[in-house]
Structure 1
Amino acid sequence: MQNKGLAKSNRQKIASGFDYKSFELPCDTGKGTALFVYKAWGKKANLICYFDVNGRKIKLSAWQRNDYGPEDSFINFAYEDIGNQYDIQWESKNSKFARFISATRIQK
């Protein structure tokens, strides 16, 4: 069973068999209820968070300057467990960058 608390390195992500290529960087503005399915360290002081939002697979970066959380939230995804659910919001104006705006944990 995978450790739910620790983010994986890029090499660990690739070796794990996780289907990270099926997740898209959103090129729209949206929000939804999201299942947190995976997290891996990026190459630029970021944590890549993989979410399933109502069947849509997306990835969003949480940056070191925001304590590895969305811009308008106090959640640090480096310490969040895989399998948690959140109401999330993102914004994108192109297909190369998406802002992780907010996240609120949904209590089980």
Structure 2
Amino acid sequence: MRALTYDQAVELGLEPRDYAYEPVIGEFEAVLDFKVWGKSVNLQCYFTVPATGERFRVSAFREDGKHYTPKDGGIDFSEEGLEGGLYRLTIGQNK
């Protein structure tokens, strides 16, 4: 499965509400815990920073009509099997 619905995540006990909407700003490693389809054309990715235990969510958007990627296009977060992986993230402040 590429991602869960919000209701599926709750039914599985994943507690999306425990993840902050404001992500950690900076460059760091984080584990992708799970993914939830957003209400618009986005995929919410739920991460935990192992070093601090901080939990947050960020959205990946469908830039080219089928791939949900960060702006650099380096990874399609809608691919199956990415959960549990450790990722090096660089997150800046939204304008």
What is the CA–CA distance in structure 2 between the aligned matches of 1:22 and 1:72, rounded to whole Å?
28
- Contact persistence 2:23–2:56 (CA under 8 A): no
1:16 partnered with 2:12 = yes
Shift of 1:8: 0.3
RMSD across aligned positions (CA): 1.9
Secondary structure class of the residue paired with 2:71: coil
Which residue does the alignment assign to 1:61? 59
Cα offset, 1:17, TM superposition: 1.4
Task: Tell me, in whole angstroms, the C-alpha distance in 1 between the residues paired with 2:44 and 2:5.
Answer: 10
After superposition, the C-alpha distances for 1:22-71 in whole angstroms (9 at most, x for unaligned) are: 11122663221011101010001100000112311010000011621111
2:23–2:57 Cα contact (<8 Å) kept: no
- Structure 2's unaligned 5+ residue stretches are none
What is the TM-score of this pair, normalised by structure 1?
A: 0.73
Classify 1:7/1:92 alpha carbon distance in 2 versus 1 (closer, same or farther; 3 Å): same
> What SS is found at the alignment partner of 1:14?
helix
Q: Residue in 1 aligned with 2:2? A: 6
Number of aligned residue pairs? 90
More strand by share: 1
Percent identity for Structure 1 against Structure 2: 28
